[in-house]
Chain A
Amino acid sequence: MKNSLGVFLASFMLWAFAGLAVAQDRPLIEIDMSGGVIEPIPVAIPNFIAENSGAERLANDIAAVVINDLISTGLFREIPGTAFISAVTNFNASPQFEDWRVVNAQALVTGAVSTTTDGQLVVKFRLFDVFAQAPIGDGVQYVGSAEGWRRMAHKVADTIYSRITGEAGYFDSRIVYISETGPKNDRRKRLALMDYDGANLRYLTDDSSIVLAPRFSPNARDVIYTSYANGLPQVFLMNLETGRQSALIEDALNMTTAPRFSPDGTKVVLSVIEGSNTDIYLIDLNTRRRTRLTTDGAIDTTPSFSPDGAQIVFSSDRTGRPQLYVMSANGGEATRISSGDGSYNTPVWSPRGDMIAFTKIKSGRFHVGVMRLDGSRENLLTASFIDEAPTWSPNGRVLMFFRESAGVSGAPQIYSVDLTGRNLRRVDTPGFASDPNWSAVLR
């Protein structure tokens, strides 16, 4: 046995070295590439194959959601079905790569949908590199209830996105925001929840009281927000599964605003307004014990945890104009990181941990921008009459914010923009929308 293995290994080495010798017959030239392009990757996604009679509609719908997810990133371009010269009729058959190469598809997605007798939905897909004529990873299959077909489609898109770009997807996620209706001087505000693409909208509160600044918990099961239900702005906590809500601090004398969860979900950091002073406090959700983190007489507000929970970035006007500061999650000395002209607000730490998004007001214009943790490489991504309240996608690639137009008829709408400043898109919502917050990818 040992000898056989040795002979095999030796034969393999002979073959490998012989091949190497043949390949090296040709003269070698070493070249440094330059240039390159930044453009969406052409991807062909034919309709998924319905493997039984009850799955035709869902097969088409799922393919449509996958296409929409990928196209919305700005990194992919759909090759229209009318350009196809080849059809995928068998999920297990190898595709005719040359046919897809002719239409300039760089990636090909084939999928199939079936329903089981017990009402379960089965979605499976494969991803191919057309020019390499090879699959990109193994095929994947999802099984779930038919009601959750959109989530399954988002999962498929997340996997495709991850395999082509190398970073995690963000399509299977949700947005909580403030839905606004009515005229500008009598705007009604409700807490609303939807999928990242605007589907499955539902309202969490009525318009009897003003609500502001909703934030997801890390597991996306709870939402914390500011409500005027008691007459003063106070932070409330809502469980999305039960709908139960309660004031975070039973203290009617002080106003609390700008809450945000810690990465482990056990604490909340927020601003407490005491008289003319606003400071940042840390609330332990188990004991409801509060810890004061800032003690100066300035307005310290809009705190946001770093992904590791060790630091907090916040806005403060202690030097006269709102600027961004970073301090330990236990409080103490704060270091100013913003240094440009104008004022900075609503900082949010990136899920990747390498950047901080913010709102900047300069020369009467609002910007959403990003900077490094030390304040360097500030990059303003947008400019408008009002651009405010950025929130990161779960993978730290995209920012969502709201933009309000000027004038009496001006109203807020939610937009998204890529980290590079490309692919500015409006997110469809019924009515006006402001103050979005992006959840983590759902489990």
Chain B
Amino acid sequence: MQIGTIISGGAHTALIGMAFLGSFDLWPSDPPELRVTEVTLIRAELFDTVTSSAPVIPLLDLEVPELPDAEFDAPVVPQADDAPVETEMDETAEPEEADENPDLTALLDVEQPDVSNVLDTVVAPSFDEAAPSLFQPAQDGNELNAPPSSISAPIPRNAPRIDTSAAERPPENALPGLETTTAVEDGPAEIIEEQQQDASAAPESSTEITPEGQENVAISLYAPVTAAKPPRRPRNLRVIVEEPESDLQEDPVLAAIEQAEREAAQAAAQQPVLAEMSGQETASIVSAFSPFWNKANLIGQPGFEQYVVIIEFNVTSTGVVERPVEPYEPSNPQGLFRIAYDSARRAVLQAGTIPINSAKFPDGLRIRLRFDPASGEIGLN
């Protein structure tokens, strides 16, 4: 008990002492002062420009260099004692008489070397071997096919090498293939008699091809005729079947209707053939109508893009527009479709004549024009 009290008292005393002595940070100091750094974002190009042109300034605090003392060592001022002294220059002595007329006879006694006055001819070096001849194209008529002289022949590629060594034997425990082939034994060669070949086929196998059309028919410019629609069945077919034939023949109404239907079938058989035109021919026709196609009435209308009309009319071989200019689609234009049709019809009638190839179209043309007010660069944005 006493020991525990002693230990506890000692420990508390030590803690209190340490608190007073400051070993524990019981009262934390003030939070560090916030340092606000303003950052400006600049573009990478600007940053590169700045860093490349301006000197790098370290962000460290540099010690300010001490200024030099104001007292300098005074420059040496020349004193009056050091002033230059004027001195006399040395004069050149006058030449003596011996120098002016020297005695050179001693030099004439010196032996001079012999110098030949005849020039030896320089001999060019001779070569025993003939000069290498340049490539000469062949003169065999294939000069144009000859390779150019500046291109050397290609180096031949190495031929593929074939390894003729035997392959390794398969392992002994290898499974045999599912398909086996029987070894072929060499037997006597089969003799095949050579049969005589005839150039002509047997009469029963030959086919005589005869043209179905007439001879000397001009090739049509137009596409093949489309299939004709079958004639419509009469609505009163049951009545016609059930009634005696004699009654039918006596009914002029039914006879006239049948006649009309036959005519209709024939007319349907004569479907219009499509003419072929080059892009230039088509463009010339479009450009003939285009200046007269006035869209002013449609532009500005709500949803004017939808008022597309197709009109149909005939043109003579000389390009004259024939009346009537009829609506094709819609067949009975109403409302703003009628306005679009009127505008299209006016354009066609105002153009009057259009350029077509009369030799190509001796019977004239039937033109189906589609007017889309949204075509071109005109519109609302």
Contacts and interface: CB of A to CB of B under 8 A. Distances in A.
Contacts of A30: 274, 368, 370
B272 interface: yes
Contacts of B290: 33-37
By secondary structure, the B interface counts as: mixed
10 contacts: A6-B253, A27-B365, A31-B367, A32-B370, A34-B286, A129-B342, A132-B349, A164-B297, A166-B338, A355-B302
A31 B280 CA distance: 12
Nearest to A6: B253
Given A31-B370, A75-B296, 15 more contacts: A3-B252, A6-B257, A17-B264, A18-B263, A21-B263, A23-B314, A27-B221, A27-B365, A28-B275, A28-B367, A29-B275, A32-B370, A33-B372, A132-B346, A136-B342
Interface centre among A30, A37, A106 (most CB of B within 10 A): A30
Contacts of A132: 325, 342, 345-346, 349
B259 A14 contact: yes
A38 B339 contact: no
Contact of B296 (A20, A41, A379): A41
A442 B275 CA distance: 54
A420 B264 contact: no
Contacts of B263: 13-14, 17-18, 21
Contacts of B282: 29, 31
A443 interface: no
A36 B339 CA distance: 15
Interface in B326-370: 335-336, 338-339, 342, 344-346, 349-350, 361, 363-370
Interface string B273-310: 11101000010011101111111110111100000000
A355 B302 CA distance: 9
Nearest to A35: B290
B296 A34 contact: no
A13 B301 contact: no
Contact of B260 (A17, A24, A106, A420): A17
A131 B352 CA distance: 10
A36 B343 CA distance: 10
A33 B289 contact: yes
A38 B253 contact: no
| Nearest 10 interchain pairs by C-beta | A10-B256, A6-B253, A27-B275, A166-B339, A35-B290, A131-B349, A28-B272, A36-B293, A13-B260, A21-B267
A27 B264 contact: no
B381 interface: yes
B45 to A, nearest CB: 27
Interface string B178-212: 00000000000000000000000000000000000
B367 A33 contact: no
B266 interface: yes
Contacts of B274: 27-30
B368 A36 contact: no
A33 B370 contact: yes
Interface centre among A29, A379, A420 (most CB of B within 10 A): A29
Contacts of A188: none
B301 A166 contact: yes
Interface residues of B, number: 65
A308 interface: no
A200 B333 CA distance: 40
A131 B372 CA distance: 21
A294 B258 CA distance: 74
A10 B253 CA distance: 8
B291 A24 contact: no
Given A31-B369, A38-B299, A377 B380 contact: yes
Given A17-B267, A33-B375, A354 B366 contact: no
Contacts of B275: 27-29
B376 interface: yes
Contacts of A7: 252-253, 256
Nearest to B251: A3
A26 interface: yes
B380 A26 contact: no
B339 A165 contact: yes
Contact of B294 (A14, A18, A38): A38
A25 B289 CA distance: 24
Interface in B136-188: none
A194 B90 CA distance: 125
A40 B273 contact: no
A277 interface: no
A11 interface: yes
Interface string A27-63: 1111111111111110000000000000000000000
Contact of A131 (B256, B286, B335, B350): B350
A136 B342 CA distance: 10
A29 B345 contact: no
Contacts of B294: 36-39, 41
A420 B252 CA distance: 62
